[in-house]
């Protein structure tokens, strides 16, 4: 009888312990600050963690916000007491000012299924080109006659600190942009004449696409519309 009681007690204790066993992810820090950097630099960071639980920790998924990538982990399972790292790259091209990026880590830690990691810092943009369309990005020729030539002008400006270069121009056969310049110096303005020769009766709408080396908005679109009679 006594032996049966001891056996039952041991089995119950083991069962209770097994119910309490669980993995637990603990990060050395959930936020890293890379300080101040020049735009264009790639920053390498590492989030260090440990499985402080008493069961195998499984990293199920890692999702990074725009501008960040996570290097593939060497493995996804970590034994109790085992340490690991999540390597992260931040690409600062196109950023200016304070930056906040997040990485979400999903694990089998029931108490902390999703852990949100944060990357902060400041990006200094000193050498850049910026394209502005002065007066708006829409041209409405209103009512026009088919087969005749019409023209309007738009003004471009480089509000950056280095030369702005137009590297690609896309348009329909009905519309033809004529540029005085395709390279604008810092703070320089230049006119573009938009020549329109309607070829079909009815409502007309098309786009002129300007691709440049502007740091943020590399593609600028001008809408052209008319009613052709």
Q: What angle do CA 93, 119, 90 make, to 5 degrees?
A: 30
181 and 109 assigned to the same domain: no
Rg of the chain's alpha carbons, rounded to an integer? 30
| Residues spanned by the domain of 97 | 23-124
Q: What pLDDT is stored for residue 8 in this prediction?
A: 45
Q: Which of 91, 124, 157 is the last residue of a domain?
A: 124
Q: What pLDDT is stored for residue 19 in this prediction?
A: 52
Q: Locate 106 and state its tokens.
A: 């999903």
pLDDT over 70 at 227, yes or no: yes
Q: Largest Cα–Cα distance in the chain?
A: 110
Total tally of structural domains belonging to the chain: 2
Whether residue 64 contacts residue 87, with contact meaning beta carbons closer than 8 Å, is answered with no
Residue 8 CB coordination number (10 Å): 10
166 and 86 assigned to the same domain: no
62 and 150 assigned to the same domain: no
The pLDDT tens digits of the residues spanning 86-140 come to: 999 999 887 889 999 999 999 999 999 999 999 999 999 888 899 999 988 999 9
Q: What is the mean pLDDT of residues 2-30?
A: 63
The pLDDT tens digits of the residues spanning 176-207 come to: 999 999 999 999 999 999 999 999 999 999 99
Lowest mean pLDDT among 13-22, 81-90, 157-166, 176-185: 13-22
33 and 120 assigned to the same domain: yes
Q: What pLDDT is stored for residue 13 in this prediction?
A: 44
Residue 210 lies in a domain: yes
Instruction: Report which of 24, 26, 43 is spatially closest to residue 35, judged by C-alpha positions.
Output: 43
Q: Which of 105, 124, 143 is the last residue of a domain?
A: 124
Residue 206 lies in a domain: yes
Instruction: Report which of 221, 219, 216 is spatially closest to residue 128, judged by C-alpha positions.
Output: 216
Q: Which of 88, 106, 124 is the last residue of a domain?
A: 124
82 and 135 assigned to the same domain: no
Residue 16 lies in a domain: no
The pLDDT tens digits of the residues spanning 212-224 come to: 999 878 899 999 9
85: left (phi over 0), alpha (psi -120 to 50) or beta: beta
Residue 17 lies in a domain: no
Residue 5 lies in a domain: no
144 and 215 assigned to the same domain: yes
Whether residue 156 contacts residue 190, with contact meaning beta carbons closer than 8 Å, is answered with yes
Q: What pLDDT is stored for residue 127 in this prediction?
A: 86
pLDDT over 50 at 16, yes or no: no
76 and 29 assigned to the same domain: yes
Residue 64: which CATH number?
Answer: 2.60.40.10
Q: What is the mean pLDDT of residues 52-80?
A: 91
The pLDDT tens digits of the residues spanning 23-57 come to: 999 999 999 999 999 888 999 999 999 999 999 99
């Amino acid at each position: 009888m006594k032996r049966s009681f001891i056996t039952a007690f041991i089995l119950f204790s083991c069962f209770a312990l097994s119910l309490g066993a669980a993995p637990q992810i603990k990060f050395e820090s959930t936020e890293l600050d890379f300080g101040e950097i020049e735009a264009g630099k790639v920053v390498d960071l590492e989030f260090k963690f440990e499985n402080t639980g008493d069961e195998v920790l499984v990293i199920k998924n890692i999702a990074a916000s725009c501008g960040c990538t996570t290097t593939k982990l060497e493995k996804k399972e970590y034994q109790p007491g085992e340490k690991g790292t999540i390597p992260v790259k931040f690409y600062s091209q196109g950023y200016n000012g304070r930056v906040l990026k997040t990485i979400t880590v999903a694990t089998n830690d029931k108490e902390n299924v999703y852990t949100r990691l944060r990357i902060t810092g400041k990006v200094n943009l000193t050498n850049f080109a910026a394209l502005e369309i002065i007066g708006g990005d829409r041209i409405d020729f209103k009512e026009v006659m088919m087969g005749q030539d019409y023209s309007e002008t738009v003004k471009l400006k480089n509000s950056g600190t280095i030369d702005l270069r137009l590297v690609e121009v896309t348009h329909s056969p009905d519309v033809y942009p004529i540029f005085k310049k395709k390279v604008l110096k810092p703070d320089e303005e230049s006119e573009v004449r938009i020549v329109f020769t309607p070829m079909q009766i009815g409502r007309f709408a098309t786009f002129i696409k300007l691709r440049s080396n502007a740091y943020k908005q590399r593609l600028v679109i001008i809408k052209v519309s008319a009613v052709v009679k």
